Amino acid sequence: MFSGGDTMSRFGATIFGCSGLRLTSAEKAFFKSADPFGFILFARNIDSAAQIRALCAELRDCVGREAMITIDQEGGRVQRLRPPLASQWQPPLEHIGAAGAEAAARAMYLRYAIIAAELRALGIDSNCAPMVDVAEEGTHSFLKNRCYGFDAQSISRIGAAVAQAHLDGGVLPIVKHIPGHGRARADSHLELPTVSASAEDLMRVDFAPFKALNHLPLGMTAHLVYAAVDAMPATLSPRMMEVIRKDIGFGGLIMTDDISMKALSGPLGGLSRAALAAGCDVILHCNGEMDEMREVAEAAGHMGTAAQARADAALLMRKTPDPVDISALNAQLEALIGGRLHG
C-alpha cells in the first residue's frame, strides 16, 4: 500500500487539511501546485470507510506519491475516528490508571497496535501520538487526561511503547508537544501559555521524555513560552529550537503545531516564515481554509536540504506491517485490565 522515500524533488514545507469529505477542484489544483509533505484529517473529513479511503487516494494522487496522511487518534476525547469506523477508548490517563503501573506500557502498546491497524485499513499512515507531556495537578483540562502520567520516567516508558506500536503497525508516530506542554495553565488553542519553571526543572522533568524518545522520526512543537529559555513561543524561537536539537537531541522532522491556533498572533505567512527560520522543518495548517493555505504555502516554500533529508528518513521508517488480528489484540488487552478498556 505504502512506499517510502521516493522523492524526485523537495516537498513543500507544509502539511495541510482539507475542507470536506472529498476534494474540490480548487483543492486538487492547489495541492498539486503546493506539493505539501503530507496531509491531516479531521472529523469534517470522516464519513465512511470507503469515503476515507477514496479521500486518501485523492490526496495522494494530487501530489503523485504516497504522501504521509496523519490524524489525531489518541483515543478518548481526542479521536477523529469513532465507532463503527474505529474503537472507542477511555482517555489515555484513565486507561493507564485502569491498567496499573506494571501493565501500563504493555496495555498502551496493545491499544495503539489496534489503533494503528484501524488507521492503516483506511489508508492513514501516521498518527499524532505519542503525547509525552508530563501532567501536573494544575495541568489545563484540555490536556490533562490525554497525558500518560505525572512523572517523566513512566511517561518515557509508556511513550516508547506507544511509538513502537505505531512503527510495528506501519504508522509513523508524531511525538508531541515538544518540548513539553504539561505545565501550561492555558489552552494554546485559545491563548499563549507561559511557563515560568527554571531551565533545570524543565530539563529534568518536562524535556526528559522527549530526550528519551529523541530517535523518533517526527515531532510536533508546543505553542508555549518557556520564560527561562526565551520570551518567544517555542515554535518561533531559535533558542528553543537549539535546545530541542542539541540538549534534547531530537533528530527527526519537526512540524509546528497548527500554525493557525490562537496562541500565535500575526499573519500566517509571517508566522510560517518565523517558524521555519527558527528551525522548524514543516508548517502544519489544519482548518482547510483555502486563502489561509495559499498564504502559508507561499511563505513556506519547499523544504531545505536538511529538512528534506529528515523527511526522507521518516518516510523510510514507514513499512508494510504483518497482518494483525484485532480481536486477538483486544483479548490480550482484556486479559491485562479486564472490562475497563473502552469509553
Closest CA to 179 of 215, 146, 226: 226
- Per-residue model confidence (pLDDT) at position 215: 97
Going along the chain from its start, the domains and CATH numbers come out as: 12-335 (3.20.20.300)
CB 199 within 8 A of CB 247: no
Residues found in the chain: 343
The alpha carbon of residue 18 and the mean position of all alpha carbons in its chain are separated, in whole angstroms, by: 17
Q: State what percent of residues in the chain have pLDDT above 90.
A: 86
- Per-residue model confidence (pLDDT) at position 341: 55
With a cut of 90, say whether residue 219 has pLDDT above it.
Answer: yes
The pTM of this model reads 0.94
With a cut of 90, say whether residue 5 has pLDDT above it.
Answer: no
User: What's the half-sphere exposure (Cβ side, CA atoms, 13 Å) at 82?
Assistant: 11
Which one of 6, 151, 189, 215 is the catalytic residue? 189
**Cis-peptide into 323, omega within 30 deg:** no
pLDDT tens by residue, 240-269: 999 999 999 999 999 999 999 988 999 999
With a cut of 60, say whether residue 45 has pLDDT above it.
Answer: yes
End-to-end CA distance of the chain: 31
Which one of 257, 258, 281, 285 is the catalytic residue? 257
pLDDT tens by residue, 158-212: 999 999 999 999 999 999 999 998 898 877 888 888 999 999 999 999 999 999 9
- Dig out the grid coordinates for 165 from the structure: 506500536
pLDDT tens by residue, 274-317: 999 999 999 999 999 999 999 999 999 999 999 999 999 999 99
Pairing label, strands 73-75, 78-79: antiparallel
Catalytic status, residue 230: no
- Per-residue model confidence (pLDDT) at position 340: 59
- Number of CB atoms found within 10 A of residue 85's CB: 16
Extract the runs of DSSP E, i.e. beta strands, from the chain: 12-16, 36-41, 68-71, 73-75, 78-79, 126-127, 172-178, 194-195, 218-221, 225-226, 253-255, 283-285
Q: What is the helix, strand, coil percentage profile of the chain, to 5?
A: 45, 15, 45
CB 122 within 8 A of CB 52: yes
Catalytic status, residue 189: yes
- Per-residue model confidence (pLDDT) at position 337: 84
CB 221 within 8 A of CB 272: no
